[in-house]
Structure 1
Amino acid sequence: MASLRLPVPSVRLLRFLRQQSENPGFFCSNHNVSSLSVGAARKTQCLSRYQPFSLQAGILDFEALVPTRASRSVRIKRSSHPTFALRCQYNSTNRQPTPCKPAWQEWLWGSSGSRARRPGRPLEPDDLPEADGEGGNNSMFNTRRQLSKKAASEPRLRCTEVDDNGNVILVDSEFKKSELIARFGLLPRDLRKIDSSNLPHILVRPTSILLNLLHLKVLIKHNRVLLFDVYGTKASYPQSAFMYDLQGKLQQKTAATNGGLPYEFRALEAVLQSVTQELEADFEAVRDPVIRILGELEDDIDRHKLRVLLILSKRVSTFEQKAKLVRDAIDELLEADDDLVAMYLTEKTHDLNRQLDDHNEVEMLLESYYKLCDEIVQEAQNLVSSIRNTEEIIRAILDANRNSLMLLDLKFSVGTLGLAMGTFIAGLYGANLENFIEETNWGFATVTAISIIMSLIVCKYGLSKLRHLQRIKMQGVPPSGRDGDYHWFHDDGHVGLLDPRNREKLRRLQMMKADDKKAPKKSWW
C-alpha cells in the first residue's frame, strides 16, 4: 500500500497567500482553501472557533511570538519522512482535512507531543523514525540486532579437514550445523555436545566417531578427520602438535593384514596420545610446586606458605577431576561392546560385519591409554592425599601449640592462686585488731613462714593436678583397682597387626622366652 502523500498547493493559492502577507491590516484565523480568487478570499468571514490544519497569514503572529509548544498539526506538516503520516483523511474534491481521533500517546502525554524535538535539544534515540508496518527498519540501532538474529538462525562451526593421505585440504572453513548433520549423518544433540559442552565424550555413530576430550574436538570418518577449532582458549600449541602428529600417523599406510591399524584407529590413537600428553604436562606443572611447598612447610609453618598450599590444593583437585572425567569416558566406551564393534568404520564401507565380541584391536588400543590415564589419576590422588595429610599435621601442630599456651596460662593462674593464699594470711596479720602476736618477738617471722608454706602447698597441689590431667597415654599400665573392669579386653600390642599365622608363631616365641626366665639357673659348680 502506497504511503499517503500531502496535496501540493496550486499557483493561485500561493498568490493568495502572498497577497495576504502584503496587507498589514488584514489577518484572519481561517480562510477557505477552495477560494481561488483574491476578491472571493476577502469576502470570507472568519470563524470564531480555531480549527486544526488552518492557514494563517499576516504580519502579527501572536502564536509565533509566545514561546509555546508547536501544535501537532504544525509538527506533522514540517516532517518530511513518510512514516510521519497525518492521522487525517483528505477529500480529493475540496481538500479539506478531517481530523481523526488522537492516539493513546496524546491522551497520556498531551496533544503537544513530548517526543517533539525542540530546537537546541540534543537528538535522542526516541526522536528517530519508527519502524514501518511492512517490517522494515529505518534505525541504525537495529542493524546489529538483525545480524545477531541472522547468526543465531544459521549457526556455523569452523573446522579443519584432513584427507585419507594426511594432507590438510580445508583450513578454518565454516560449515553450517545443518550441513554437518546432513554430510556426516549426525544428530543435533551430537553437535551440541561439541559446541557447548566441556565434559569429555566419546560418541560412536554408524558412520563416524565423535570425540570431545579436553582441548580436542574431533570427528573421525573412515577417510576424513574433521578438527573443530576452538577460539578464545590457550590450546593453540597442543592443537598444532596434534595436527603434526596426526599427519604423521595418517601418512603411515600399512595394510591391516600386516599388523597395521585402519585409518580411523590411527586417528583415534593420535587423539588419545595428545590428550594423555596434555594430562601429563598439566600434572608436571602442578606436582613440582606442591612438592616444594610441602618440603618448606616441614621446616617452617608460615601464613604465606599456607596460602600458597591452599591455591595449589585447588589446582590439584581441579586437575584430578579433569583426569577422572577422561578416564571415565574411556572406561564407559570399553564397557560397551556394541560401540567397540561399531568403531570399525573401514570394514563397514566394505560390507564386513563383525561379531559382538570381536573387537580385540580397538579394545587393546583403548585399554593402553586407559591405564595411562588411570596412573595419572592415581598420582593425582596421592598428591591430594599428601596435601590433606600435611594439612592435618599442621592442624595438629597448631593445636599442640595452642594447648601449650593454655597450659602456660594455667600455670600462671596456679601461681597466682598460691600468692593469693599468702597475701590472705598476711592481710589477716596486718589487720588493725589487737592480738597477742604483735606483742611477741617471733610473730612476724611466724606469720611470714606460714604464708610462704601455704602458698607453696597451694601451688604444688595445683601443679600436680595439672600434670595429672596433662599426662595422656595410649598404652600403659592401667590404674590399680580397674583390672576387673577390662577383663574382656586383652592387648596384644603390635602382635595384633600381624598375619594370624605369624601372630601365633610370635606368641609361642614369647611364651618360650618367659619359660626360660622362670626356669632355675644351674650353677657351674
Structure 2
Amino acid sequence: MGESRGPFLRAFIPGSTSSDDTGRLNLDARGNRGSHSVGTKNRGHASRSWIKIDQDGNFEILELDKTTIMRHCSLPARDLRLLDPLFIYPSTILGREKAIVVSLVQIRCIITADEVILMNSLDGCVVQYYLELCKRLQTNKDQADDLPFEFRALELALELTCMSLDAQVKELGMEIYPVLDELASSISTLNLEHLRRLKGHLLALTQQVQKVHDEIEHLMDDDGDMAAMYLTEKKQRLDSSSDGYTQTNISSLDRVVSKSAPVSPVGSISGAQKLQRAFSSIVTSKHGSLISSSSNRENVEQLEMLLEAYFVVVDNTLSKLLSVRL
C-alpha cells in the first residue's frame, strides 16, 4: 500500500510528471494502448481517469473511455451516466449481469466479482472509500471472510454513505436549534432569512436520506434483484457449467462422428458441422435453463441481512430529520 500511494497522489497534482506515470494504461475503444495524455478522445468519447481496485487491495489508475468500461463490465450507457459526478441522480443500486452499479450520494462505482472501478476524484467521500477499501482488503487478504468480494465493497459504500448522512443531520441540527431559540425571543429579517436557508438545506438532505432509505428497502423486497448481485457465485457457476458442458459436448461429438461413415470427404465435413451446430444449440438451451432455475432458488439471506443492518441506520437518520419542524 505504501509503495502504491506515490503515483496515486501524484495523479492528483496538476502538471506533475514522473516515471511512474508511464505505467498508466490509456486504452481506446478497442482496448489498445494509446497516448498518455488526459482528455484524449477515442471514437468521439473522452477518456477519463479511473481507479481500479482488485481483490487484494491493489489499485491501478487507468485512462479509459466509456465504450471500454461498457464492454468490460457488460453495462449499458445509461448506467455509466449514474457515475458521472457532473450529473445529479437519485441514489441507486443496480444488479446487472456481471456488475453492481452503485450510486449513493457521492460514492459512485462499478463492482464486479473481481474488482471495483470508480472515477478518479478529489472528493473526500471518494478518496475515503478508495483508501478504506484498499486497507480492508489488504488487511484481510489472508483471512477467511464470509462475505464475497462484491458484498464487502458494497457494504463499505453503504457504511460510508450512512455515516456521512448521519453526520450531516447532526451538523444541521446544531445550526437549526439555536436559530429557533433566537427567533422565540426576537424576530428579525436576518434570523428569518437564516432559517429559510436552513429549511432548504433540511428539505434537500431529507430527500437524499429518503432515497437511500427507499432504495435499500426496495432491494430487500425483491429477491430477484438481490439474487442478481451474487456475482461471485454466478461467475463460479457459469465457469463450472461451461467446463462441464464443453467436455461432455466434445466427447459426445467425437463418438458420433467416429461412428459415422461419410460417403465423401465433402459429405463428412458437412455432417460434422451440422452435428456440432446441433450440439451447440442443445448445450446453449440447457445452459440457459440451468442458470435461470438456479437464480430462482438463490439464497439471498446473506445479502438481505447486510442490507437490513444499514436500513436500520438510515431509517433512524430519517426519523431524526422528520422530527424537525420548521
Identify the TM-score tier after normalising by the shorter chain. 0.5 to 0.7
Q: 1:204 matched to which residue of 2?
A: 95
Residues 337, 356 of structure 1: 8 Å contact kept = no
Once residues 334 and 229 of structure 1 are traced to their aligned partners in structure 2, the CA distance between those partners, rounded to angstroms, is 31
Once residues 64 and 40 of structure 2 are traced to their aligned partners in structure 1, the CA distance between those partners, rounded to angstroms, is 18
Shift of 1:174: 1.7
Q: Which residues in structure 2 correspond to 1:103-252 (within 5 Å)?
A: 153-168=44-59, 170-171=60-61, 173-195=62-84, 196-230=87-121, 236-251=123-138, 252=140
In the superposition, the TM-score normalised over structure 1's length comes to 0.41
The one of 282, 303, 320 equivalent to 2:168 is 282
Shift of 1:320: 0.6
Once residues 284 and 328 of structure 1 are traced to their aligned partners in structure 2, the CA distance between those partners, rounded to angstroms, is 21
Shift of 1:152: 8.1
Residues 216 and 149 of structure 1, relative CA distance in 2, 3 Å threshold: closer
Q: Deviations over 1:246-283 (max 9, x none)?
A: 12332324435xxx211111111111111111112221
In the superposition, the TM-score normalised over structure 2's length comes to 0.65
Q: 1:327 matched to which residue of 2?
A: 213
Residues 276, 373 of structure 1: 8 Å contact kept = yes
The structure whose RCO (Cα within 8 Å, separation 6+) is larger is 2
Residues 338, 356 of structure 1: 8 Å contact kept = no
- Structure 1 stretches of 5 or more lacking a match? 1-147, 388-525
Shift of 1:155: 3.1
Q: Deviations over 1:46-90 (max 9, x none)?
A: xxxxxxxxxxxxxxxxxxxxxxxxxxxxxxxxxxxxxxxxxxxxx
Give every structure 1 segment of 4 or more consecutive aligned residues whose post-TM-superposition deviation is greater than 3 Å. 148-152, 253-256, 352-357
Residues 327, 374 of structure 1: 8 Å contact kept = yes
Q: Give the secondary-structure state (helix, strand or coil) at the position aligned to 2:237.
A: coil
Once residues 276 and 200 of structure 1 are traced to their aligned partners in structure 2, the CA distance between those partners, rounded to angstroms, is 12
Q: Deviations over 1:163-184 (max 9, x none)?
A: 110111x12x221111111111
Residues 202, 211 of structure 1: 8 Å contact kept = yes
Report percent identity of matched pairs. 28
Q: Which residues in structure 2 correspond to 1:102-501 (within 5 Å)?
A: 153-168=44-59, 170-171=60-61, 173-195=62-84, 196-230=87-121, 236-251=123-138, 252-253=140-141, 254-255=143-144, 260-351=146-237, 353=294, 355-356=296-297, 358-383=299-324, 385=325, 387=326
User: Bigger CA drift: 283-292 or 349-358?
Assistant: 349-358
Larger helix percent: 2
Once residues 264 and 347 of structure 1 are traced to their aligned partners in structure 2, the CA distance between those partners, rounded to angstroms, is 10
Q: 1:390 matched to which residue of 2?
A: none
Shift of 1:347: 1.2
Structure 1 residue identity aligned to 2:185:
D
Figure out how many residues of one structure are paired with residues of the other and give that number: 229
Once residues 51 and 95 of structure 2 are traced to their aligned partners in structure 1, the CA distance between those partners, rounded to angstroms, is 20
Task: Kindly name which structure, 1 or 2, has the bigger radius of gyration based on alpha carbons.
Answer: 1
Residues 157, 175 of structure 1: 8 Å contact kept = yes
Q: 1:498 matched to which residue of 2?
A: none
Residues 41, 47 of structure 2: 8 Å contact kept = no
Q: CA RMSD in A?
A: 2.2
Q: Give the secondary-structure state (helix, strand or coil) at the position aligned to 2:175.
A: helix
Once residues 266 and 295 of structure 1 are traced to their aligned partners in structure 2, the CA distance between those partners, rounded to angstroms, is 44
Q: Deviations over 1:279-326 (max 9, x none)?
A: 122212211010111122222222221221111111111111111111
Residues 249, 266 of structure 1: 8 Å contact kept = no
Once residues 351 and 152 of structure 1 are traced to their aligned partners in structure 2, the CA distance between those partners, rounded to angstroms, is 36
Once residues 42 and 298 of structure 2 are traced to their aligned partners in structure 1, the CA distance between those partners, rounded to angstroms, is 46
Once residues 227 and 131 of structure 2 are traced to their aligned partners in structure 1, the CA distance between those partners, rounded to angstroms, is 28
Q: Give the secondary-structure state (helix, strand or coil) at the position aligned to 1:194.
A: coil
Residues 159, 226 of structure 1: 8 Å contact kept = yes
Structure 2 residue identity aligned to 1:297:
L
Q: 1:395 matched to which residue of 2?
A: none
Residues 336 and 319 of structure 1, relative CA distance in 2, 3 Å threshold: same
Q: Deviations over 1:406-432 (max 9, x none)?
A: xxxxxxxxxxxxxxxxxxxxxxxxxxx
Q: Give the secondary-structure state (helix, strand or coil) at the position aligned to 2:323.
A: helix
Shift of 1:354: 5.3
Once residues 372 and 249 of structure 1 are traced to their aligned partners in structure 2, the CA distance between those partners, rounded to angstroms, is 22
Residues 283 and 245 of structure 1, relative CA distance in 2, 3 Å threshold: same
Q: Give the secondary-structure state (helix, strand or coil) at the position aligned to 1:351.
A: helix
